[in-house]
Structure 1
Amino acid sequence: MKKNVLIIGAGGVAQVAAFKAAMHNDVLGDINIASRTVSKCQSIIAGMLDKKVLKRPGILVAHELDATDIEATKALIRRTRSQIVINAGSAFLNMGVLRACLDTGAAYIDTAIHEDPAKVCETPPWYGNYEWKHREECERKGVTAVLGAGFDPGVVNAYAALAAGSYFDRIDSIDIIDVNAGSHGRYFATNFDPEINFREFTGTVWSWQGRQWTGNTMFEVKRTDDLPVVGTHTTYLTGHDELHSLSANLDVPDIRFWMGFSEHYINVFTVLNKLGLLSEKPVTTAEGDEVVPLKLVKAVLPDPVSLAPDYTGKTFIGDLIRGTHNGVERELLVYNISDHEEAFAETSSQAISYTAGVPAVAAAILIARGEWDCHHMVNVEELPPVPFIELLGRMGLPTRIRDARGDRAFDPAEFRRERKAARSGA
């Protein structure tokens, strides 16, 4: 059984992960939080102590760490005796933190795919460009590495595995839909790191269609759906992490990701993009100063963490899955609704961070218990989905299912009945 957790990062997702890990320190042991700016970690800990979130008395420590320094990261893992590392920092850090885990034997968890700061919307498959190159080493060393264990990627992968394992004989399409129906009251802001957020949309957006990668421009393709709780929303086809593992691990011809944006967001984004202010390439000002436009925009926008106190409304994230079961066409919607105000009351964070941070800690708990301690590198859809989905429900992210039989809470017993029927051919 693995013990002691090191959380790398001090943004909104890391804050949620720290709160939730502390709430389960009877299983996870010591909780360590590390960031380049140690005062941010200390602030998170102060908030946790104020809310008295520790399940039992235990170690809760802030550390200063430049996670681009692999040797320093390895030293911190060893010094804190951390057997599980949750990488909740920038996606630019993934490969360095993974290397530190490979060299120390600690289990590795992240919530997003690695990104190269010099490359935007790379040619697929993204995991194949980075993390998957280390699968053999993970296997050889017996290191557990769970990739993309946030919500999307992460929980949506588990939803796809759930459907493929019992509810369908053949899946024809998976449409992952992500809608933030909340409001933060600011003129313009992004819900997570602006630099990572904008990079997803400024180049080619890739989707898996007809069993091949298909490129589009952002906001070129849209759809409208009547969704539970949040109502009717228009979403836009974009690229996203989970497509790059689901397309390899599941036999599904069409897998797409759709995200909701307001007209205001689209207008501001379009102006910034056309002016070149979302470029990751440096420019030189008339005064001779070199500036990266995207980093400048990030600097003047609100810190996503600061949005949490004023956020109202809900989020919807789910998989709309179509295929056949016993020769009959079937449609299944598996989804979660999260509330911004409830997330803030519990973790002082908004629901976007909550939906990404809680699953990472659920993964850590399953690794600590041994259920997901697989000793090799996996994406979430390669692991048993039911323990994950059940645990998430107990931790604040309940799953619901909507199909021809109605809309209902996820019931593991129903999953087992469906699976048994699928195996018997009933």
Structure 2
Amino acid sequence: MKKNVLIIGAGGVARVVAHKCAQNNDVLGDIHIASRTKSKCEAIVASVHEMGNMKAEGLLESHALDAMDVAATVALIKHTDTQIVINVGTAFLNMSVMSACIETGTAYIDTAIHEEQDKICETPPWYANYEWPRKAECEKAGVTAILGAGFDPGVVNAFARLAKDDYVDDITDIDIVDINAGSHGKYFATNFDPEINFREFTGTVYSWQDSQWKENEMFEVGKEYDLPVVGKQMAYMSGHDEVHSLAKNMGSPNVRFWMGFGEHYINVFTVLKNIGLLSEQPVKLANGDEVVPLKVVKACLPDPSSLAPNYTGKTCIGDFVKGTKNGNPAEVFIYNVADHKEAYEEVGSQGISYTAGVPPVAAAILVASGEWDVKTMANVEELPPKPFLHILGQIGLPTCIRDENGERQLDFSK
């Protein structure tokens, strides 16, 4: 049984993680949150108390930490007697935080692949560039490292595994669709860190088709989906983390990711990209100073956490899985619908942060209980999906299904 959680990061997703850990502190034990800016951590701690989200009497503390400093992270893990680290800081931190966890024998959970600040859209499969080569280190140290345990990647990986286990014997296609049908009322904004958000969409779109990597440009391939609750929505094939692990682990010749975008977002994004403002490479100003255009754009846009109070509408994220069952054609759509307003009322965050922040807490609960404490590195689809999805339903993200038997919420208690 593992206890005591250290949350690294203090953005919108970290806020959700902190609230959800607090709601389950009878299982998870002491809760610590650390970031370079301690005041942000203190504000999250205050919000947990203000909203009454501590389930039991217990420790909830904030700390200042530069998580790029492995020695400092090791020291904080030891000082707090942490046994589970949930890393929801910037993706640039992953390798440093993982190193600290391996050194201390601490379970590690993240929600996105590692990235280097000066590189965008590296050669696929992305996990092979940084994470997977460290699996042997995790096994030697007996460290559980769960990769990509957000929603996408994360829950959608579990959806794919559930489809393979119960609904489709021989999978031919996995199409992951992420639609945000909500409105934040701003002229232009991103739902999470603009720097990471834009980096996803400025490089090559990699998809797994006919058992090989295929390359497209962003917004080159679009498709309209008719989805539960949110209705007909236009989505575009995009590069995304989970494609790279599912292509390796699921045996499907086709794995694609589709994200919804409105015309206004596409227009603004295209202008910013075409004039070079989304570049991660420094440019020299007239006075000789250097700036990174992408960081300037980030500084000019609204903080994603500021969108929450006025956000309305819903999200729908799920997997269309096709293939055969008992020799006959089979198709299933496994999905979740989340509400921005409900997320704000519960934890003070918008729905995108909520869907990203609840799943790593469910993963932490399973590590704490031992069910997912596998003492090695694993992507979510390599782990039993039903315990994960069952806990998610209990703590805010129920799983639904659409197939030949209609639409319904799945009952994982049976």
TM-score (norm 1): 0.96
Q: Which residue does the alignment assign to 1:335? A: 335
CA offsets, 1:209-243, max 9 Å, x none?
A: 01011110000001001100000001000110001
- Which consecutive segments of 4 or more residues in structure 1 shift more than 2 A? 411-414
Counterpart amino acid of residue 323 in structure 1: G
Shift of 1:52: 1.3
Question: Counterpart of 1:178 in 2: which secondary structure?
Answer: strand
Q: Which residue does the alignment assign to 1:128? A: 128
Q: Which residue does the alignment assign to 2:153? A: 153
Counterpart amino acid of residue 336 in structure 1: N
Q: Is the counterpart of residue 162 in structure 1 residue 128 in structure 2?
A: no
Aligned counterparts, 1:14-163, within 5 A: 14-163=14-163
Contact 2:235/2:260 (CA < 8 Å) preserved in 1? yes
Q: Which residue does the alignment assign to 1:257? A: 257
Distance 2:309 2:343 in 1: 10
Q: Which residue does the alignment assign to 2:240? A: 240
Shift of 1:413: 6.7
Question: Counterpart of 2:201 in 1: which secondary structure?
Answer: coil
Distance 2:413 2:31 in 1: 34
Distance 2:333 2:53 in 1: 34
CA offsets, 1:311-340, max 9 Å, x none?
A: 000001000011100111011000000000
Distance 1:192 1:411 in 2: 31
Counterpart amino acid of residue 196 in structure 1: I
Distance 2:376 2:42 in 1: 33
Distance 2:128 2:397 in 1: 30
Aligned counterparts, 1:25-424, within 5 A: 25-412=25-412
Shift of 1:288: 1.5
Shift of 1:137: 1.0
Question: Counterpart of 1:165 in 2: which secondary structure?
Answer: helix
Q: Which residue does the alignment assign to 1:4? A: 4
Question: Counterpart of 2:150 in 1: which secondary structure?
Answer: coil
Shift of 1:274: 0.5
> What is the aligned-residue identity percentage?
66
**Superposed CA RMSD:** 0.7
How many equivalent pairs are there?
414
Distance 2:392 2:358 in 1: 7
Counterpart amino acid of residue 51 in structure 1: M
Counterpart amino acid of residue 259 in structure 1: M
> Relative to 1, partners in 2 of residues 1:55 and 1:413: Cα closer, same or farther, differing over 3 Å?
closer
Counterpart amino acid of residue 299 in structure 2: A
Unpaired segments of 5 or more residues in structure 1? 415-426
Shift of 1:411: 2.5
Q: Which residue does the alignment assign to 1:424? A: none
Question: Counterpart of 1:201 in 2: which secondary structure?
Answer: helix
> Relative to 1, partners in 2 of residues 1:413 and 1:406: Cα closer, same or farther, differing over 3 Å?
farther
Distance 2:166 2:407 in 1: 18
Shift of 1:412: 3.0
Q: Which moved more, 1:217-226 or 1:160-169?
A: 160-169
Shift of 1:170: 0.4
Shift of 1:193: 0.4
